[in-house]
Amino acid sequence: MKPGPYYQWDRRLHPPAKTPDYKTSVSRSPQYSLISLETSINEMTGPRFGHNDIDPLDNDLLGNYAKPGESPIGERIILHGRVLDENAKPIPNTLVEIWQANAGGRYRHKKDTYLAPIDPNFGGCGRTLTDENGYYYFRTVKPGAYPWRNWVNDWRPAHIHMSIFGSAFAQRLITQCYFEGDPLIPRCPIVQTIPDPDAIEQLTAKLDYNGTIPLDTIAYKFDIVLRGRRSTLFENRLEGN
Amino acid sequence: MPQELNYLKQTASQTAGPYVHIGLAPGAAGFDIYRQELGWDIAGPNAKGERIRIEGLVIDATGSPIKDVLLEAWQANADGIYAHPEHPGEVEEGFRGWGRVITNFETGEWGFDTIKPGPVTDLNGKVSAPHISLWIVARGINIGLQTRIYFEDEAAANAADPVINTIEWEKRRATLIAKKTERDGKTVYRFDVKLQGEDETVFFDI
Ligand SMILES: [Fe+3]
């Protein structure tokens, strides 16, 4: 059996392009339907990364921007989990990149002007490669909620943005990780672009008490599932099998 | 329950938001953190083939350029080979075939330097015209948009391309063809993406 084409995007659980409650999507959403393609070699391949591309400390947001002997303000957390496909097969050696606001809800970005202060010891980005079992982890602080311009009073729940490559361009994904129990999740127009409540639940990292390091860092578990792929048992034959 | 289907569910997409640069291009967000940012050199120094530049805008439904977009490109080398173990063949040392680029915050212009890819022979023998895949994310885009850049000066190959021919509306096929221009003796292709409205770019479900 050879690995074959990827399973389709499950469009019932991904957000549609146009979601008027998230206003910016209205003018940035295609109005025509997507054209469906047979998976070709172009999508079954994708960029690969190695340990020369990144540094071992890149996954430590508690340390990767802090001055020597200092550390960022906020609740110290570990965010960890596995990158899997729909067949529950781990995806090894794939690049995971994250970015987030600091504990006060402020981004280190020249376009962010929120009242909360910049933390001099916090950059807000990290990256890592999954190991041979698809496992990844980051150390960081729990981000704060922040207000944004949509309706007159909208606040984003605490979240970490995540970018994942997978093993093929067909799997390329950007998403956001939320935290269990946040009362802003059901009120957020961006979260609620997702039509399937179970899919929202799946974007919520769970407190992992066993993963917690006593007197040091609270752990949250967040597994990521990318499209799986079919095995080619038989070649398609036009005349039928 | 021997007949249970044990598939996991896909993790849902969410918008990259306005601060995507922090994670994927921190220099543009205004700070220096990594030894090297990824994706600035698509072809590498040893790549064979014609050196080209591709430039464009991403335009919204009102006709305005979007200034907070991030684009990623994925392409084969001049021999039509992808840098990936599932595609038989070799690529030049340092050729990754992948890059990312962001728009200028004031003008919305983006551009990248690469080599012109060759035609690609798929595993089933079908040949596609030279093209570059483009993945577009931004604030207001809920799931990354996939399109393809083809080249104006490959008219015969484009006419035979299986993907272009999948598009029922012939008029819309033109949205995938980059226009060839020249600047200081170098080939520059223009590829504007229209997210919505008249001449909306064709996007794919891949
Ligand atoms: Fe955010």
Residue A212 is encoded by which pair of tokens?
A: 């917690």
Residue B72 CA, ligand 1 centroid: distance in Å: 20
Structural domains present in chain B: 14-194 (2.60.130.10)
Residue A239 has pLDDT above 50, yes or no: no
The minimal CB distance from A124 to the residues B22, B172, B195 is found for B22
Q: Which residues surround ligand 1, an ion (CB under 5 A)?
A: B 17
Shortest distance, CA A139 to any CA of chain B (angstroms) = 15
Tell me the count of A-B CB pairs closer than 8 A.
254
Q: Count the Cβ atoms, other than its own, within 10 Å of residue B105.
A: 12
Decide if A204 touches B, using CB distance below 8 A: no
In tens digits, chain B (206 residues) has pLDDT values of 788 899 999 999 999 999 999 999 999 998 899 999 999 999 999 999 999 999 999 999 999 999 999 999 999 999 999 999 999 999 999 999 999 999 999 999 999 999 999 999 998 899 999 999 999 999 999 999 999 999 999 999 999 999 999 999 999 999 999 999 999 999 999 999 999 998 999 999 99
Cβ neighbours of residue B30 closer than 8 Å, sequence gap 6 or more: A108, A109, A110
Residue B15 CA, ligand 1 centroid: distance in Å: 9
CB contact under 8 Å between B142 and A19, yes or no, is: yes
Averaged pLDDT, A35-42: 93
Whether the Cβ atoms of residue B140 and residue A148 lie closer than 8 Å to each other: no
Q: Report pLDDT for B23.
A: 97
CB contact under 8 Å between B200 and A31, yes or no, is: yes
pLDDT classification of A237: cutoffs 50, 70, 90: low
Q: Report pLDDT for A4.
A: 86
**Spatial separation of the C-alpha atoms in residues B111 and B47, rounded to whole Å:** 19
Whether the Cβ atoms of residue A152 and residue A176 lie closer than 8 Å to each other: no
Place of tokens 């899997």: A84
The minimal CB distance from A27 to the residues B10, B15, B61 is found for B61
User: Chain A partners of B38 at a C-beta cutoff of 8 Å?
Assistant: 49, 53-54, 95
Averaged pLDDT, A112-120: 97
Residue B59 is encoded by which pair of tokens?
A: 């335009």
Residue A238 has pLDDT above 70, yes or no: no
Return mean pLDDT, chain A.
Answer: 95
User: Chain B partners of A8 at a C-beta cutoff of 8 Å?
Assistant: 205
Q: Report pLDDT for B124.
A: 87
Q: A165-204 pLDDT, tens per residue?
A: 999 999 999 999 999 999 999 999 999 999 999 999 999 9
Q: A19-32 pLDDT, tens per residue?
A: 999 999 999 999 99
Q: Report pLDDT for A234.
A: 60
User: Chain A partners of B171 at a C-beta cutoff of 8 Å?
Assistant: none
CB contact under 8 Å between A161 and B142, yes or no, is: no
**Spatial separation of the C-alpha atoms in residues B79 and A232, rounded to whole Å:** 27
Residue B90 is encoded by which pair of tokens?
A: 């070799």
Residue A241 has pLDDT above 70, yes or no: no
Q: Report pLDDT for B108.
A: 97
**Spatial separation of the C-alpha atoms in residues B25 and B37, rounded to whole Å:** 7
Q: A121-170 pLDDT, tens per residue?
A: 999 999 999 999 999 999 999 999 999 999 999 999 999 999 999 999 99
**Spatial separation of the C-alpha atoms in residues B184 and B174, rounded to whole Å:** 26
CB contact under 8 Å between A97 and B24, yes or no, is: yes
pLDDT classification of A1: cutoffs 50, 70, 90: low
Question: What residue spans of chain A are helical by DSSP H?
Answer: 41-44, 197-202
Is the CA virtual torsion A230, A240, B166, B125 positive or negative?
positive
Instruction: State how far the alpha carbon of A170 is from the alpha carbons of A3, A67, A174, A179, B90, in Å.
Output: 14, 40, 13, 27, 22
